[in-house]
Amino acid sequence: MSLDINRKQVTKNAYRVTKVRNETALRVRVPGGEITGELLLKVAEIANEYGNGKVHLTTRQGFEIMGIDYADIPEINVKIEDLLTGLGINHVDKEKGYPAAGTRNIAACVGNKICPKAQYNTTEFARKIEKAVFPNNFHFKIALTGCPNDCQKVRMHDFGIIGMTLPKFRAHRCVSCGRCAKKCQSLSTGAIKMNNYKPVRDHDRCIGCGECTLNCPTAAWVRDEKKYYRLAIMGRTGKKNPRLAEDWLIWVDEESIIKIILNTYDYVDKYIDRSLPKEHIGYIVDRTGFEVFKEWALKDVKLPKETVVKHQVYWSGIKYPGIL
């Protein structure tokens, strides 16, 4: 294969430019991190027939089939159509490839399908976001975690979505055992304290972890049916000024989060520095200022009355001299 390949087109259509001159790797994301055994067999089939038989599972819950010859890309584009359909990701044209099929996967912990601490179905929400934002050439990093334990490390992403539960107290079921207060003190933030043998919850201190609902022996504490989230923004890794995401919205809903993400794509399209090969969204926010980002992100967003908004967000992290 000659070196005059269209690098942008190849990478856009789910293939990686590798260190081996004549070889590429097929990159496909797995929205929400969930894949069926049947689809895994298709991955194995492509790896054995066209690659070197090896598959790398990426840190973002996608996969890369290694050792593929560039000349086989048209055949593989036909082969992977059923795989992309099964995963629920975009696929448009067998001949031209599949736009953004291998770009930043929306990653998620296992969620409440298995984990008792998780407050929601992370895979379902990840797939909702997937359908809303792709295909898109801007590389946002979005991750979801079921509870404040943050097994998915979402604070290292542009948008980190953390599940919260709003505990509801059924006083008639309470036997004044104090277990909720003890667990909240030892496992969480101490938002529940006993007062005259009755538990009292401090809403401002509560992080929605749900430990009270898990540990109450009489189900006096139950989860609200509504789903709430904490939205942390603009975390990043990389060489220059890595940092953790900071909380922006607390007790926010799914619809608002999706709208905010879509609005942010518009914001990036407006302000990204196109003279650069790529510009991380966090650096655009640093450059324009948080107020400009906030104005774009909240456009036409109707936040729930319960939502707490931090009107200014400050990030720390490693800072090198002379670099913004």
Phi, then psi, of 126 in degrees rounded to 5: -60, -40
Helix (H) or strand (E) holding 257: helix 254-271
Read off the tokens for 38. 């049947």
Query: pLDDT tens, position by position, for the chain (324 residues)?
Result: 444 556 666 766 788 888 888 899 999 999 999 999 999 999 999 999 999 999 999 999 999 999 999 989 889 988 888 899 999 887 666 666 777 777 889 999 999 999 999 999 999 999 999 999 988 888 899 999 999 999 999 999 999 999 999 999 999 999 999 999 999 999 999 999 999 999 999 999 999 999 999 999 999 999 999 999 999 999 999 888 899 999 999 999 999 999 999 999 999 999 999 999 888 999 999 999 999 999 999 999 999 999 999 999 999 988 888 766
Whether 167-223 and 7-87 are alike in CATH topology: the answer is: yes
- Specify whether the CB–CB gap between 18 and 70 falls below 8 A: no
CATH top class, domain 167-223: alpha beta
Residue 30's contacts (CB-CB under 8 Å, 6 or more residues apart) are 61, 62, 63, 87, 105
SS3 251: strand
Q: Which CATH architecture has domain 7-87?
A: 2-Layer Sandwich (3.30)
Contacts of 267-272 with CB under 8 Å at 24 or more apart are 267/292, 267/293, 267/296, 267/297, 268/138, 269/138, 270/296, 272/138
Residues forming a β-bridge with 126: none
- Specify whether the CB–CB gap between 59 and 24 falls below 8 A: no
Q: In the block, which residue shows the tokens 């038989």?
A: 53
CATH superfamily of 107-164+227-309: Sulfite Reductase Hemoprotein, domain 1 (3.30.413.10)
Q: What is the pTM of this model?
A: 0.93
Number of C-alpha atoms within 13 angstroms, CB side, residue 252? 24
Domain boundaries, the chain: 7-87, 107-164+227-309, 167-223
